[in-house]
Amino acid sequence: MASVPVYYYSSVSNLTGRFAEHLAEQTGRAVHNLADAEVRHRELGDAWVLLTPSYKAGNADEVTLPAPVRAFLRSAANRRHLVGIIGSGNRNFGEYYQAAARELATASGRPVLFEFELSGTPEDVDACAAILQDLDEALAAR
């Protein structure tokens, strides 16, 4: 069965990247870093999942979705094939917790599949892996 690839962005603190690497190491799932220009310029022809942190500067009008993620989503093909969103955030941001993942879910009509804080716990990696496996099965049955 095909396993849906995860495309992620992570800043220099690399918290989201660590979660993505654990997911890949433990499950063999392909993860791709949108900080890499070659990755960011791809036009996908099949289902994929976005993993993104939220960044808010404190202004309610400020966009939270990282620029490389916005660049990747400029492709209509990539928008069409997006099937779900995973968010990395920090509860210290209160009402803006997971703002990027949640705002994109509202705008795109795609579900937030899983949310975790910072680089997540080993339990978070396991829980997310199980959700993605269910998603693989659902996509295979389409």
Ligand X SMILES: Cc1cc2nc3c(=O)[nH]c(=O)nc-3n(C[C@H](O)[C@H](O)[C@H](O)COP(=O)(O)O)c2cc1C
User: Which residues sit at the interface with ligand X, rule CB under 6 A?
Assistant: 10-11, 13-17, 53-56, 64, 88-90, 93, 96-99, 118
The nearest distance, CB 71 to ligand X, in angstroms, is 16
The two three-digit tokens of residue 57, written as one number: 């500067």
Under 8 Å between Cβ of 1 and 45: no
**Looking at residue 131, what DSSP letter applies?**
H
To ligand X, the closest distance from the beta carbon of 35 in angstroms equals 10
Q: State which residue, 11 or 121, has the beta carbon closest to ligand X.
A: 11
Token digits of residue 16: 């989201």
Q: Which is nearer to ligand X, 47 or 115 (CB)?
A: 115
> Angle formed by the axes of helices 122-140 and 15-27, to 10°?
60
Q: Which is nearer to ligand X, 76 or 95 (CB)?
A: 95
